[in-house]
Structure 1
């Protein structure tokens, strides 16, 4: 069933070569078997490839990685042979486009640097970066499977937030400047910043909202100031996809939609689990990328 169009590139160079080969053949649909990291790498190479960004190939995501946030929103819904058979049946009956979700990935670039852009769907910094750094500790990576590692990371993060000795260092935040859609911004301490190009997350979690009448510009973001008020209560609501009026009215919590966000900070930015340094200029741009169509079963 896999045939000559099956590719399993093991290096970045091999992936670039594979995508260029597919572009030369004008392949219009890619099936990506992997987690968030794999999907992000494929999108990053597609973005820099001979494929025109306004006409990227259709993508079917078959989740099989450690983290599958992307698949929870735009995954094909089936795996393995069953998924491939469904795709073949749809293609042969010319119904490949019968069910499609369109999303704009985050494009992370470094102004003034000769570095290729990185694409993904969920990013953040502040407490998010600190939690990811905990998750990447060898003691967790070596001793826990993925689901247990997530729980261990959550437990260690919660313990530090509850510890009188460590709590303040978390709550005092990280110096960050966020410029939304070309607006300048002063550096100030922030507890947490999250952004995504997805429209839903697993388990009903959705810590984003938009004011009434505000359009979707591609990137949903959450900006939490240092030493935020009622943090425990806010987390309890946001992880359940709720943003009651008191949160929306608070100066500690800001959320909305943007097309471009310029970030200035010395801290690393995390994109789909990958830690990205901001570079010597301590600056990166996050923009809403080209529209990508994801096939649904």
Structure 2
């Protein structure tokens, strides 16, 4: 049995410099089956091939789009029947939220080596389950799967960082800090300029069991991860039946100030406060005449008569590097 199957996207930014070392490592290691995909529509064929060798662990090495496309195909494709292998994600994207939630930090090659070492022993203590976020427009089309969604002003700040800051060639951490400061300046001081992100979006967010919110929001998050941005952990004290962890911060000074204070104290997402709303649900609907959300790096839009529907999925096994 092949211990580890690795899907790599050579076109992802992180792989442009690192992939030769990954190829060399895999060539020297008979425990790894390495499959490279240059387009997301090749992932289905990759998983069909990988299913034939029945690996103990499936590892994704690519950017956010590669991770999302692989999770979507893994969930919908049924290539492994009822027993898919646990999924590990190398820290090779811009934000690495999923990788960090699973304990993968630092250099991707070091994380891959640790995964191989874990796969040689009993995996049981390293396997965790996570629900995924299934995003659709409520029609019968195939939902897209992910684990972290940003909406309202947060989505605009992410897009601002991608389109305005990343091209400067700065380190990811510096780029994220600059984008966050620009977004905060726009919200706290009401600044509006071409070089600043637009952080005000009117949304109607409905929880199918408990109610709805209407208004403008600086931040909307929906996640099934345990860890959020800046290392804080998602709230755990709400309804135990809802798997979609929802956070909304109103677009005003009270809401943003509460968010900043809680973030500095490491408790953002753990408690409600002035202008901060928390919930745990299994289905969430977002309505807007012109609202954008980003699910694991991919952009989706809500418009009049075309809502965004979020549902939680059945559990999916993942590999956590720290037991």
TM-score (norm 1): 0.81
* DSSP 3-state at the match of 2:36: coil
Aligned partners of 1:210 and 1:255 also within 8 Å: no
**1:199 maps to which residue?**
226
CA distance in 2, matches of 1:184, 1:254: 12
* DSSP 3-state at the match of 1:42: helix
Structure with the bigger RCO (C-alpha within 8 Å, sep 6+) is 1
CA distance in 2, matches of 1:113, 1:276: 17
Q: CA deviation at 1:30?
A: 0.5
TM-score (norm 2): 0.76
Alpha-carbon displacement from aligned partner over 1:174-198 (angstroms, at most 9, x marks no partner): 2212221356647543343111111
CA distance in 2, matches of 1:12, 1:100: 26
**1:31 maps to which residue?**
59
**1:258 maps to which residue?**
281
Structure 2, unpaired ranges of 5+:
1-24
The reply on whether 1:132 has 2:158 as its aligned counterpart is yes
Aligned partners of 1:205 and 1:239 also within 8 Å: no
**2:177 maps to which residue?**
151
CA-atom RMSD, angstroms?
3.2
* DSSP 3-state at the match of 1:5: strand
Aligned partners of 1:63 and 1:75 also within 8 Å: no
CA distance in 2, matches of 1:17, 1:280: 36
CA distance in 1, matches of 2:65, 2:269: 33
Structure 1, unpaired ranges of 5+:
none
* DSSP 3-state at the match of 1:41: helix
The reply on whether 1:2 has 2:30 as its aligned counterpart is no
**1:224 maps to which residue?**
249
Q: Please show how residues 164-179 of structure 1 align to structure 2 within 5 Å.
A: 164-166=190-192, 173-179=200-206
Q: CA deviation at 1:149?
A: 1.6
The reply on whether 1:44 has 2:69 as its aligned counterpart is no
Paired residues in the alignment total: 288
* DSSP 3-state at the match of 1:55: coil
**Relative to structure 1, is the Cα distance of residues 144 and 181 closer, same or farther in structure 2, using a 3 angstrom cutoff?**
same
**2:40 maps to which residue?**
12
Q: CA deviation at 1:55?
A: 3.5
CA distance in 1, matches of 2:190, 2:273: 29
The reply on whether 1:105 has 2:137 as its aligned counterpart is no
Aligned partners of 2:187 and 2:252 also within 8 Å: no
Q: CA deviation at 1:53?
A: 7.7
